[in-house]
Amino acid sequence: MKCVIFPGQGSQFLGMGKDLFDKFPEEVELYNSILGYSLKELCLSDPKQQLKQTNYTQPSIFAVNHLSYLEYLKENDAPDYLAGHSLGEYNALLASQVFDFETGLRLVKRRGELMANATEGGMAAVLGMPLAKIVELIEKHSLNDIEIANINTDLQVVISGKKKAIEESAELFTSNGARYVVLPVSGAFHSTLMQESKITFQSFLTEYTFSKPQIPVISNITARPYKEIAIDKTLSEQITSSVKWSESVQFMMFKGVNGFEEIGPGKVLTSLVSQIKNNAVGLDLYFDEDEEKKESEIQYRSELPETKPKANVASDSGKLLLELTPNQLGSPKFLERYNVKYPYVSGSMYRGIASKEMVVAMGLNGFIGFLGTGGLSDSVIEESIVFIKDQLGSSHPFGVNLLHNEDNPDYENKMVELYLKHDIRNIEASAFITISEALVLYRLKGVSRFLDGSIRIRNHILAKVSRPEIAELFLRPAPKDIVDNLVSTGKLTKEEGELSTHVSLAGEICIEADSGGHTDAGNLCVLLPAIKYLEDRISRKYNYSEKILVGAAGGIGTPSAAAAAFILGADFILTGSINQCSIEAAISEEVKDILETINVQDTAYAPAGDMFEMGAKVQVLKKGVLFPYRANKLYNLYKEHNGIDDIDKLILTQLEKRFFKKTLDEVWAEISTYLIQGKKEELEMAERSPKYKMALIFKWYFNYSTKIALSGSVDDKVNYQVHCGPSLGAFNEWVSGTGLSSWRNRNVHVMAQKILKETCLLLKEQIKAMSSKSEQY
């Protein structure tokens, strides 16, 4: 079996194609008309010194490659496989009749223009150093601005990234035994710095249709054959993804290819193939007889710097080792569904502590974050949404919280109306104990069928739950009575109502274990398996077209905790408390100064202000404040007395002096003024019920304690109410003595990236240790 391979940018030279142009005049004329200049003149004389400029280089190499292949076919049969290095992949697709020469020219012309406009980065070749060692150095030295671009052979790797980082990394690699060559390119090709180019090109590709490959074409980003349904997506992803040349060649060797013919200018790829063949051993350790099934399951999506490559020739002993990377954690479905690069979510925190700035920082860096909306006015929420959409545009995902309000369903309806108005596609549903009409309306709005009969779901609900019976409500389809009412009132169409039985209410369930704020103090090791079993049973019963994903939250603040969650089967993880002690969190610096010093024992449980009478609990900061003790004191007084007048006068004086900082009469005057403005029924109830009045007065303290924490009132720090779980204490302990020990250095996305990187390192070490032990037996 044989494969024809096509070179990419870098193979050009003055004089290339000189024996071809006169043999194929129609193709040359087509090139000239589309590109607007002479191909022959550019390649043979280059009078304007343009041949090395990306927007001229790429179309000219593509054309010379194609003419070379036409000449090749005059005396040779079509190959069994086709492949190309970066740009060369377009020639492989052309040779496989995925598109014609004219379409290819237009695609490559646009690709070259976009890549030429990327001038903020650089690239370097790292020679003589195994890939695994390069990845290790990048991770060990936190080279966050460097990514793996080309894996040409095990000892020839190209890195890409910010120009300064590329230049400054030379000493690190050379001191570790590598030869380091900075490449004469203007951009950080095949890296996430090309994201904007990728997005623009992806939109451009929608103007074209592609045919099924007639000969298998090996994709750079997957090292497996192209699939017809993913051609346009794979082409756009190639701009930001690693070129897995070494793995591509090894895959074809495994499939029986023994001859590789390079078609086009130069013989760079021929040399690389020779090196790969000489060093490739133990292919059966990576590839197996079920490889065809694996090919059909490949996910085509963007990859992180850390996620590239998925599998590499990685050890001096010649064995193929898997390099665990963040995109292999959790579920690829989560990355695809939310269009993110990491299986990691920053959850909402009330009063906008999960701020618009936090959501933007997460979205711009490959994550999804949810805006905290509880306790905020409608206008502030809308302003935040407008800000986020303006900053993130249409290419970066984000979400908004929807907080359950049992006493005021109109609030939920108003929020959903706002979210639909702004085309919010992702919401985080929290504190729900029943299914409301607002939730059902949001989930089902826009549900329809594609032409092939599959169901299209526009709106995603990520439901945070801490009990199996609540999880079950979200795992099942929306209640029929609610759906029927929405259809009868015209809020849902008849089709949306009919399709409701095929759609789970939530697309994602996030299990909250012992978390900050409202908590049932659950155990993740118990809850996650139980709810995953529940999800599997319900999904099989209803045969949903979209898989329900199950994530983990609560107690996750270190790589060890994240690793445990993923090992338990979490499709994604969600963090909250640790993000409160970050630059982007909208809470006072005074609170952050305290939070960065806490340990795991520095939180406590207190009554929840919004569910005071029910005795619900929240987990709060204990170190340096008296709020948890005072909140519990108020709840005990509420349980033991029928009204304020029943409480000892001395105790009331203490409450006024230490808790409320004003008289109870003044507190009640404030409450009465507020209730008169819109909640007169509550005021009337308080006048009839001394105990209810007492509850309202005590709940004022909870609102006050939150306000002073948010604002950073320095005169009354002991009364700060700060929702927080012990995961922050664990995070503080983990980063102690590093640059992240101060919250002033903690960007929320940097914290997230560090956790995921270290999670991968931890799991690899554990796997390595277990493998070593197994060999002893």
Residues of the chain with CATH 3.30.70.250: 121-182
Residues of the chain with CATH 3.20.20.70: 332-590
- Domain 2-117+191-323 falls under CATH 3.10.450.40: no
DSSP state of 243: B
* Active-site annotation holder among 66, 85, 190, 518: 190
3-state class of 259 per DSSP?
A: strand
* pLDDT at res. 261: 95
- Structure tokens belonging to residue 61: 């190499």
Q: What are residue 347's phi and psi, to 5 degrees?
A: -80, 165
Reply yes or no on whether 190 is catalytic: yes
**CB contact at 8 A, 268 and 11:** yes
Q: DSSP readout, 162-194?
A: EHHHHHHTHHHHHHTT-EEEE-S-SS-TTSGGG
Give CA–CA dist 406/400, Å, rounded. 19
Tell me the fold of 121-182: Alpha-Beta Plaits (3.30.70)
Which residues are CB-contacts of 416 (< 8 A; sequence separation ≥ 6)? 402, 438, 439, 441, 442
* pLDDT at res. 303: 34
pTM above 0.85, yes or no: no
* pLDDT at res. 546: 85
Give 686: exposed, middle or buried? Use CB within 10 Å, 0-12, 13-18, 19+.
Answer: buried
Below-50 pLDDT ranges, the chain: 281-282, 284-286, 289-322
* pLDDT at res. 775: 53
Q: What are residue 447's phi and psi, to 5 degrees?
A: -65, 135
Closest residue by Cα to residue 411 from 434, 385, 389, 437: 437
Tell me the fold of 332-590: TIM Barrel (3.20.20)
* Active-site annotation holder among 86, 197, 246, 355: 86
* pLDDT at res. 289: 45
DSSP state of 512: E
